[in-house]
């Protein structure tokens, strides 16, 4: 739990960096309005504007905060009905303005403890349904699937597919990329194919992907630049097709799909996949896209055998003569 001393130190250092004198109850609001306008023939033509404002809570908010901090019971989560709240990417309404520091600390502790409460309930339910469940999964794993997905919190692989613990070996990163210089991704693929002998490798993107949207935006993203460049390279490869799509949202969705297809190609280029398929006729590589609007998976139906044949003209790593 955050102590009052730590909170005061944080606020003090924030004042020094900002060069502003603000009270401990002053709210820091960061509003980012991004537009992604990509005229035909001009891929990176969008602008991002960011406004930083300091706003003090109203007297009623101060009073409410003071009243709530005087009670021992944990504060309620930020109100879903507060018109001044900002909407998070998960769709929940979060507003911390006017909350006392001790209320925030209690709320953070509350959300932390809730995870362990759910864990205990889940473990008890699993044991009730199958008394041997934990002895079976502790004996080892033999997953059918390797799932390469986006780190986005809204796309949990097991929940949207109905898979159970032990069914999928999961790797996630921003925009579900498979880069040959990413030792993490390469190690996951090698281990999943050579040691776990997965039968399917799924690259799953999703419409509304923030990583893809960021790559379509003409903005310096700092450390993210080298990572997002991989998506921009996908746009470059399909520039003619994408620029021919007049609707911006449709163009965005299509880049999500094309990014998945290219990452599938990158998976197929690996020695582990090529050699295992030549010997065992698996794994098969699939490209899927998840729809946030309806919760459904779309199979892009990539032709794995054909793509494998096409890339082996240059990327053949099967040691065949």
Active-site residues, by number, are 150, 152, 154, 206, 209
Give the side-chain half-sphere CA count within 13 A for 203: 29
Instruction: Compute CA distances 131 → 5, 117, 124, 127, 134, whole Å.
Output: 48, 20, 10, 5, 8
Helix, strand counts (H, E) of the chain: 12, 9
**d(Cα 7, Cα 11) in Å, to the nearest integer?**
6
Using CA atoms, how far apart are residues 104 and 63, in angstroms rounded to an integer?
A: 16
Ramachandran sector of residue 211 (left: φ over 0; alpha: ψ -120 to 50; beta: rest): alpha
Q: What is the DSSP string of 82-112?
A: -TT-EE-TTS-EE--TT--HHHHHHHHHHHH
162 Rama class: left (phi>0) / alpha (psi -120 to 50) / beta: left
Residue 204 annotated as lining a ligand binding site: no
Task: Please give the structure tokens belonging to residue 264.
Answer: 């599938």
| 112 appears as a binding residue in the annotation | no
179 is an annotated ligand-binding site residue: no
Sheet holding 284-290, edge to edge: 168-173, 145-150, 200-206, 284-290, 297-299
Residue from 213, 177, 154 nearest 32 by CA: 213
Question: Phi/psi of residue 130, each to 5°?
Answer: -145, 100
Alpha-carbon gap, residue 131 to 133, rounded angstroms:
6
253 is in an annotated binding site: no
Residues making up the binding site for Zn(2+): 150, 152, 206, 209
Residues making up the binding site: 150, 152, 206, 209
């Amino acid at each position: 739990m955050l102590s009052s001393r730590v909170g005061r130190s944080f606020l003090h250092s924030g004042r020094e960096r900002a060069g502003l004198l603000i009270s401990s109850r002053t709210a820091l609001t960061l509003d980012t309005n991004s537009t992604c306008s990509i005229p035909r023939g001009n891929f990176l033509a969008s602008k991002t504007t960011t406004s930083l404002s300091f706003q003090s809570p109203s007297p009623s908010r101060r009073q409410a905060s003071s009243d709530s901090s005087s009670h021992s019971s944990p504060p309620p989560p930020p109100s879903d009905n507060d018109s001044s709240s900002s909407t998070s990417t998960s769709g929940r309404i979060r507003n911390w303005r006017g909350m006392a520091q001790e209320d925030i600390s209690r709320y953070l502790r509350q959300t932390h403890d809730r995870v362990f409460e759910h864990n205990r309930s889940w473990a008890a339910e699993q044991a009730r349904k199958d008394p041997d469940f934990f002895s079976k999964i502790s004996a080892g794993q033999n997953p059918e699937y390797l799932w390469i997905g986006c780190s986005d919190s809204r796309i949990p692989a097991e929940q949207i597919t109905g898979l159970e613990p032990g069914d999928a070996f999961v790797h996630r990163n921003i925009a579900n990329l498979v880069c040959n210089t990413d030792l993490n991704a390469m190690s996951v693929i090698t281990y999943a194919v050579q040691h776990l002998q997965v039968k399917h490798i799924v690259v799953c993107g999703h419409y509304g992907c923030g990583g893809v949207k960021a790559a379509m935006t003409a903005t310096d993203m700092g450390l993210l630049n080298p990572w997002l460049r991989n998506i921009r390279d996908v746009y470059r490869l399909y520039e003619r097709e994408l620029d021919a799509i007049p609707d911006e949202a449709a163009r965005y969705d299509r880049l999500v799909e094309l990014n998945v297809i290219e990452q599938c190609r990158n998976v197929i280029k690996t020695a582990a996949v090529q050699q295992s398929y030549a010997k065992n006729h698996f794994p098969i590589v699939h490209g899927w896209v998840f729809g946030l609007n309806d919760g459904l998976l779309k199979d892009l139906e990539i032709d794995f055998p054909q793509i494998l044949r096409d890339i082996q003209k240059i990327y053949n790593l099967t040691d065949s003569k």
